[in-house]
Structure 1
């Protein structure tokens, strides 16, 4: 017997039982198998429904293509800067909205060609036996599937279904939206190939694609998507510079249709080359535009001068008039040409200064060389301004960074100030040259004034004509020069390896990832469930749980009953369950011997609440004593909820209550059972005052009389956690067995029995762990049902049965 001073209550401990948790995980192996089957099935279904993903790429090089025809006087081109600057500009441009708008517009990728796949609609671009040519100025129905079915090689059936009376339309000419009324229901109509289809919601024609005429039996669908949304989808193209070769750029794009990817990648590079060459030719283009506008006036002036000269020379002896004046005429013509050059330079500087002061877009500036300006500072700064202006305009569509634009503005303002200073200093030098030329011309003209009048007139008309002719010829040369340079320029961007479908390129879907995810989920979900269940489970499940919560010894562990009957020991005396009760009997005898208890023995069985198997243990422990030829009696003292009689097929008309109130004698309430040496005293009718009967003198008399008749007296009492009846009976008992049921008894309930034992209200107490299930050790199933159920008004049961858990255990 335990000494109370050695008793130490350990009511709660927060340590986690890893060994028990691992054992529980193993016991739920069926859940793991079920979850794995489920997750792998889902992963398989997802994988077979996913479209294949392809990756296509192209390689381009960015270099400095210098025109071999350039000279110091033909600076009609500007560059983007060094190669590294060009590479960054190309990368930014390829991802810009403005660039991709041009590409998508040319490819008309906002028209979706689809076909029905095994599980969903698939991209049929490049496979359809037809092409759709739309009228971009008219509205096309938005995001509506239009089915196209070939009736024969020259006829198609166009059909769709309208769910609403209003249809939204896209206008691709200006990217606007509108709406129109449509008939609700199915729309079906037949059209000829190449026939213009004019409907309130459509305006296009269908042409044949001779490359895919073998696919006429397939049904196809077309759908018109939002232009801006389509462009946004292609701006995520992967562009990166090669680490080893800084001027090499790889452009890659992933998608479900290889033909579409190839066309997009090649078109985006072709568009880039064209736009870059246009930018590179900007000087030449501006120069040609300026010269063309100037030549019109110069040509008129030259024709006028030529006409005046012809009129003057008519009916005159020109040879006599020219005699003696050739040298003066030649000299004056040279002075006039030089003066015109100086004037043109000054006029260009005035034009340039005025343009710089009144405009912010400098991309349309003509080249300084058009005016004969060869000053490297002027040429370099004008070129730099055009470069910065063009680059800023390009970034405006792809970058939303005010700081970057501010930096561009600062740079352009700085170049503009330097250029204005250059203009001022150059104009000052030209004014000096102009004064000197004017003085020389005045000297020559004073000499001419001494010649005869007709000779002076001839020199005047000849001089005027020569000047206009020289100017006209100079502009023609400059224009031809600009055209030659423009024609001979090469783009700084070129293909190394164009995109091409060579049969590979498959990069997805990543089916292995889904299967790995299925494995993780299949193992993780039941693991988490069991883990959370373990954390939230406040029930006693193992002997270790009991040992952590109390110092009361465990006298035995009872497994489960596989059968429906509660008389398990009598019905299967050789079972493991029977051996468990025999072990408890042996332990009780050891306790009696150690405590030197002789004569009849009284054993009381109690528990915390109903449903823990107290009555089941009472019947089978009594059966074990009876089968060992010991006269044994079970006394039903659960006066509030009688139950013992059911399994013995004995009625409960009379019992302990009748004796305690003096109605019957002991012999009259004792009933024989079908088990040899085992008698039963049922509790009898439910009294109005069960507690008073338990503590009455009649109870003591009944116990004393029973000691005279039996070797073992087994008391079946109410739960000690609910009522005090069992505590009143403890004074008569030689041993108390406290029944704890695995998965039912809460850990906190042991604090009640700990406290009562500490105060001495329960003595010689031991614990029975009932209904123990540990497949890894015992291999028991979980099948039997027993316990109290509801106590009605007398007992307030604290446990709510977990129906799902009971069902699952029963299935196991």
Structure 2
């Protein structure tokens, strides 16, 4: 089955073996690329600031108040510790909480000092403290330089760059307002005293000295930053339970300044503890406020009744009630106190019911114990509603209004409120029934009072009012003391297990090893891609294997790269590898003649695809080796458009083939002798206007026939077959044709022309010679092909071949670099 050969501009196949071999041939590119990558990685690593991680350990407890009783239920715990842990984790990441921490530490003001490669965070390391005027807006985003002149004075300066915008941004950290002002971009410098109020265009406040030692003339830098950007940066704090379901939380924060991390973690725990304690005391605080307002009214009422009682006794000259009146008063007083207690509960329930039905924020509900209610279901329900309301209010600072958690909280509030309203209704009915019984008992006692003297009746009424006011005042006073005691005894549910501290370690970055690994990978990948593209996009013939894959025409042999300055390589260095390769070609040609049964004198045509592939060089040296073997040889230059061979033999191109074909000279006149035995030359002569027509004439037939009679071997140097058709016309005179291919020069697609001619039978007895062949791996041909004598002999060729002086390592490296930069 005949093999099909297809050639296109793109590679018809991918040579994996050649690709691997080529990778090794470009080892220097990998070395250079990796060294550059490692250098860049080192440059980056030494300029990266260290990254530290500081940790803190806290636990969320459910610390019950030791004074908690059913009668003093001013604090509530619902949902258990697990809910508090989840709430704490969320709180520590909220914007509201972190704003409090940033404000307390004033982290929107950053301190810097010059490091080895860049400015470094100098929080806690500068010998001064800057206190901005909270009522004034401060310049943000620009670095102000502070340089101490002596212990009591410093220089404040600001330098503008050409790229700085004309408008400067100012921010007031109290009102959270931003304003833009136009600046002339003139450098600023002014001297101030320590602790003196600085009223400059770019900073308003004071600079105080601290205990850190000072370096005079050393520049320090301060910069006010965007407030919300600073807060957002600290919201990345990592909060995680030690174990699943554990109440112990691990807080960690990463940054470049360990002292800042320590302060932030400890302050965030402190703020959290304070807020949780305030929320825990919220119910008691609001209850105390309610009782205080009630005590004020009862105090006025008690004082007024007391004055009325004294005045009545003086006016009527009565000291005290009679025995009978005292007994009636005591019984009425007990009924009044019981009635007032029930009425307070009913009023509380009525107010609570109205509050629950009309309000959305339930955080202001006073404790049921204020009204003497000790029903556990009522107290727990009110506490749960208050806690849920506080939780909803807290989430509103960090979540959108349509967040699912709000719907969940509202459902819980509604469910608890529904149950509470039912309990209120049933309890009110019981209380109203009790109130009716008390009023009936009061009515019976009032009948007995009407039987007493008029003065005794009036005194009894006044003392009755006084006793009720006094008992009510005492009751509120007791509740006030209970609430104060509970508030004082409350402790935060946050307990610090391991306080954040700089213990000397904590460095977690930068990951310099990763950078070096990335440099190694990228440094290897770049030349790998380069080599891959070279192989994948390479459309030139590089080795004999390419020829075998792309054409059915046999490869006669390979000719190495000549380092000779002239084309007479065989004559100038007869023992060189180049000379041996042409001798091998001569032997191969003789084998072809014998195989084709060609007897007598021979003609060999040499052509190629395009100019520059070495036709003339091959023709001259083929003629040279035939002449050196004793064959009478003629080299004829038939490339009438670009005459060449005359220059190498130091002869003129005045008379040649053209002169014979136009009838000016005879065959004998155009033949020129050379300085080499058995070798004559016919040059092409003057360039004619119609070279193709001349070569197709009858006189060409006569010329070739005449030359074959007089010479054993005629070598024809012809034009490229890929450019003109002259070589095809001359093919009929050739016993064998040689088609030159040049390594890394001839394009693979050029073989399509000669393949087509060969398959159609327009050319016969044709063979390829791979010229300018370098026996190197970068062409994907790192093994001896068996052609081109002088290659692959190793140490066994020593003494048989004339060795050529190798370039020094320095010159070879220089040549490589020139080639790289040329690419």
> Structure 1 length normalisation: TM-score?
0.93
Residue 765 of structure 2 is matched in structure 1 by 764
**Gapped runs of 5+ residues in structure 1?**
781-803
Q: For 1:715-734, list aligned pairs within 5 A.
A: 715-734=716-735
CA contact (8 A) 1:368 1:379 kept: yes
Q: CA, structure 1 residues 719+208, in 2 after alignment: closer, same or farther (shift >3 Å)?
A: same
| 8 Å CA contact retained: 2:5, 2:549 | no
Q: Deviations over 1:265-309 (max 9, x none)?
A: 111111111111111111101111111121121111111111111
Tell me, yes or no, if the aligned pair for 2:6 and 2:12 is still in contact at 8 Å: no
Shift of 1:517: 0.6
Contact 1:80 1:86 in 2 (8 A): no
Q: Among residues 64, 67, 81, which one is paired with 1:66 in the alignment?
A: 64
Q: Structure 1 residues 417-426 or 314-323, which shifts more?
A: 314-323
Aligned equivalent of 1:408: 409
Which residue of structure 1 lines up, in the alignment, with residue 25 of structure 2?
Answer: 27
Q: Confirm whether residue 114 of structure 1 aligns to residue 112 of structure 2.
A: yes
2:111 is aligned with 1:100: no
> What is the CA distance between 1:6 and its match in structure 2?
5.8
What's the CA shift for 1:193? 0.7
Distance in 2 separating the partners of 1:676 and 1:55: 90
1:378 aligned residue: 378
Q: Is contact 2:167-2:181 (8 Å) kept?
A: yes
Counterpart in the other structure of 2:802? none
Paired position in structure 2 for 1:672:
673
SS in structure 1 at match of 2:623: helix
Question: Is residue 507 from structure 1 mapped to residue 505 from structure 2 by the alignment?
Answer: no
- CA separation of 1:564 and 1:436: change in aligned 2, threshold 3 A: farther
**Residue by residue, what CA displacement relative to the aligned partner does 1:748-769 show, whole Å, maximum 9, x if unpaired?**
2222211111111111111111
| Superimposed CA distance per residue, residues 350-387 of structure 1 (whole angstroms, 9 cap, x where no aligned partner) | 22122222221112221111111122222121111111
Kept in 2: contact 1:556–1:768 (CA 8 A): yes
- Structure 1 residues 11 and 217: CA distance shift in structure 2, 3 A: closer
| CA-CA distance at 1:19 after TM superposition | 0.8
Cα distance in 2 for residues equivalent to 1:427 and 1:500: 58
Query: What is the Cα deviation at residue 578 of structure 1?
Result: 2.0
Within the alignment, does 1:459 sit opposite 2:465 as a pair? no
1:245 Cα deviation from its structure 2 partner: 6.3
CA distance in 1, matches of 2:349, 2:275: 30
Q: Which residue of structure 1 aligns with residue 353 of structure 2?
A: 353
Please state how far the C-alpha of 1:90 moved relative to its aligned partner: 0.8
Q: What are the superposed Cα offsets for residues 86-108 of structure 1, whole Å, 9 maximum, x if unpaired?
A: 11111111110011111101110
1:548: which partner in 2? 549
Offset of 1:66 from its aligned partner?
0.9
Match for residue 307 of structure 2? 307
CA contact (8 A) 2:321 2:460 kept: no
Equivalent in the alignment of 1:524: 525
Give the C-alpha shift of residue 215 in structure 1. 4.2
Cα 1:435–1:306 shift into 2, 3 Å: same
Structure 1 pair 182–608 and aligned structure 2 pair: CA distance change class (3 A): closer
Which residue of the partner structure matches residue 808 of structure 2?
none
Q: For the structure 1 residues 613 and 179, does the alpha-carbon distance in structure 2 shift closer, same or farther, using more than 3 Å as the test?
A: same
Q: Which residue of 2 aligns with 1:247?
A: 247
Indicate if the aligned counterparts of 2:316 and 2:455 stay in contact, CA closer than 8 A: no
The alignment's TM-score, normalised by the length of structure 2, stands at 0.92
CA drift at 1:119:
1.5
State the Cα deviation string for residues 485-537 of structure 1 (Å, max 9, x = none): 11111111111111100111111111001100110011100001111221111
Aligned residues of 1:92 and 1:398 also touching (Cα < 8 A): no
Alignment match, 2:79: 81
SS in 1 for 2:178: strand
Tell me, yes or no, if structure 1 residue 363 matches structure 2 residue 374. no
Partner of 1:337: 337
What pairs up with 1:569-718 in 2 under 5 angstroms? 569-718=570-719
Residues 1:392 and 2:403 aligned together: no
Contact persistence 2:154–2:192 (CA under 8 A): yes
Do the aligned residues in 1 keep the contact of 2:262 with 2:500 (CA within 8 Å)? Answer: yes
447-456 or 398-407, which deviates more: 398-407
Q: Give the 5 Å matches for 1:157-168.
A: 157-162=155-160, 166-168=167-169
Structure 2 vs 1, CA of residues 806 and 692 (structure 1 numbering), >3 Å: closer, same or farther?
A: farther
- Whole-angstrom distance in 2 between the partners of 1:473 and 1:320: 23
Distance in 2 (CA, whole Å) between partners of 1:327 and 1:765 is 148
Aligned to 1:799: none
SS in 2 for 1:721: coil
CA displacement, residues 561-595 of structure 1 (integer Å, 9 cap, x when unaligned) = 23443332222222222222111111101111112
Cα deviation code 1:41-72 (max 9, x no counterpart): 11110111111111111111112111111001
Distance in 2 between residues matched to 1:469 and 1:460, nearest whole Å: 14
- Equivalent position of 2:561 in the other structure: 560
Distance 1:267 1:182 in 2: 38
Equivalent pair of 2:82/2:245 in contact (CA under 8 Å): no
Counterpart Cα distance in 2 of 1:810 and 1:675: 43
Q: Distance in 2 between matches of 1:294 and 1:104?
A: 40
Please give the per-residue CA displacement for 1:12-39, whole angstroms capped at 9, x wherever unaligned. 7844211111111111111111111111
Answer with 416-425 or 337-346: which moved more: 416-425
Q: Please tell me whether the aligned partners of residues 313 and 319 of structure 2 are also in contact (alpha carbons under 8 angstroms).
A: no
Match of 2:796 in 1: none
CA-to-aligned-CA distance 1:131-173 (integer Å, 9 cap, x gap):
0111112011111110001111111111112456543211000
Q: Secondary structure at the match of 2:112?
A: strand
Q: Is the 8 Å Cα contact of residues 11 and 548 (structure 1) preserved in structure 2?
A: no
Question: Do structure 1's residue 179 and structure 2's residue 180 form an aligned pair?
Answer: yes
Q: 1:217 to 1:505 in 2, by over 3 A?
A: farther
- The aligned residue for residue 819 of structure 2 is 808
Distance 1:518 1:130, change over 3 A: same
Residue range with higher mean Cα deviation, 412-421 or 185-194 = 412-421
Contact 1:180/1:200 (8 A) holds in 2: no
Number of equivalenced pairs: 784
2:657 and 2:396 mapped to 1: Cα distance?
A: 100
Question: Match for 2:129 among 128, 131, 142?
Answer: 131
Q: CA RMSD in A?
A: 2.2
Q: Deviations over 1:421-469 (max 9, x none)?
A: 2222222222112111222222222222211111112211111111111
Cα gap change, 1:758/1:166 in structure 2, threshold over 3 Å: closer, same or farther?
closer
Partner secondary structure for residue 653 of structure 1: coil
Is 1:147 aligned to 2:145, yes or no? yes
Shift of residue 348, structure 1, vs aligned partner: 1.3
Moved more, 674-683 or 686-695: 674-683
Q: Which runs of 5+ in 2 are unaligned?
A: 786-814
**Alpha-carbon displacement from aligned partner over 1:736-757 (angstroms, at most 9, x marks no partner):** 1111122222222222211111
| Whole-angstrom distance in 2 between the partners of 1:808 and 1:111 | 56
Q: In 2, distance between residues paired with 1:629 and 1:809?
A: 46
Instruction: Return the match for 2:42 from 34, 44, 52.
Output: 44
State the shift of 1:398 in Å: 2.3
State the Cα distance separating 1:631 from its structure 2 match.
Answer: 2.0
Kept after mapping to 1: 8 A contact 2:157/2:188: yes
Q: Name the CA distance, whole Å, in 2 between partners of 1:6 and 1:473.
A: 121
- Secondary structure of the 1:646 match is coil
Q: Distance in 1 between matches of 2:241 and 2:123?
A: 30
SS of 1:679 mapped into structure 2: strand
